[in-house]
Amino acid sequence: MSRKKSGAPFSLFAFQDAITSVCGVVVLITLLLALALTQRVEVESQASTVAKSKVDEVRAQVEKLQNDLDELNARVEETAAVDSAGVGKSLAEVKAQLANAKRRLEGAQEESSRLDRKLEELEERKETFAGLEERIDELKRSAAETLEKAEETAKEEFDSQESAVYAFNDDVREKPWYVEISGSKLVAHGSVDDSDAKTFDSPFAFARWATTRPSGSEYFVLIVRPSGARNFEFAVLELESEGYRYGIDLISESRPLMFLQEGRGKESP
């Protein structure tokens, strides 16, 4: 005879419930992990895109900076070449100026040395010049004394000489002009009064004045001193070319003249 078991029957419901709960939790965790992984992939993809964009931008900036650097290097090389040529030219000009200044300095030094030697020579001759100046002063005093004596002698000789007398007469129809001709001047006397005398520095000036006188009522008496021979020649040529009448009288160089009119007379100095 079979023996009956005692107690309640064995149930798996609790185990199944636990298994189901665990599986649900595992599935939930799996879904959460899948969702997090998906989001992380998207974030990393976006980050990669942004990073790539940044990298491309940085690369573009680097390339631009490299181009700018190459351009700057080219400019620097060109500027350096130009500056080198300019510096070389300036240096050559400065060297030429220095050489020119050196030559001028040497010339100035030589001129200074020459002037120093000349000054020494002048200093040596200074005493000699002082003696010469004293001698010149003595000669000047002697010459002044000799000239004074000569003037006194000439005056005495002039006073002692007999005057050459020429007369004016108002009763005659033709009037004479007495022309005293010396080496320095020509003096035409038309009356006894010296204030009426006409003085000319050359025979040509005398001739121009003579042509203004009436040839029919006036004539000229040329009183010629030895020093006035040449002036006399030119005066005669001018008078003859104009058809004027003239006479000639030769007297000594220092002989005084005297002009008379109606018993009155006055010497011409």
Rounded average pLDDT per 10-residue block, the chain, 269 residues: 54 71 84 79 68 74 81 75 61 81 83 82 74 74 72 58 82 87 92 85 91 87 93 90 89 89 52
Query: Which is it for strands 264-268 and 257-261: parallel, antiparallel or unpaired?
Result: antiparallel
- Residue 175 lies inside a defined structural domain of this protein: yes
Has residue 56 been placed in a domain? no
* Residue 174 domain flag: yes
pLDDT reported for residue 1: 47
Q: Which pLDDT value is given to residue 99? A: 83
Query: Contact at 8 Å (CB) between 203 and 224?
Result: no
Distance CA 75, CA 73 (A): 5
d(CA 102, CA 119): 25
For residue 260, give its domain range: 163-268
| Chain segment 90-113, per-residue pLDDT in tens | 778 878 888 887 888 888 888 888
Adjacent-strand bridge partners of 266: 259
pLDDT, residue 180, reads 94
Model pTM score:
0.40
Number of domains in the chain: 1
In a domain, 193, yes or no: yes
Q: What is the pLDDT of residue 188?
A: 94
CA distances from 93 to 77, 211, 267 (A): 24, 76, 85
Residue 162: phi, psi to the nearest 5? -80, 130
* pLDDT for residue 88: 63
State the virtual CA torsion across 171, 174, 175, 178 in degrees, nearest 10. Answer: -120
**Residue spans of alpha helices (H) in the chain:** 13-160, 203-210, 229-242
- Say if residues 244 and 212 touch (Cβ distance below 8 Å): no
CB 251 within 8 Å of CB 258: no
232 in any annotated domain: yes
Per the domain annotation, does 247 fall within a domain? yes
- The answer to whether position 36 is within a domain reads no
Residue 263 lies in a domain: yes
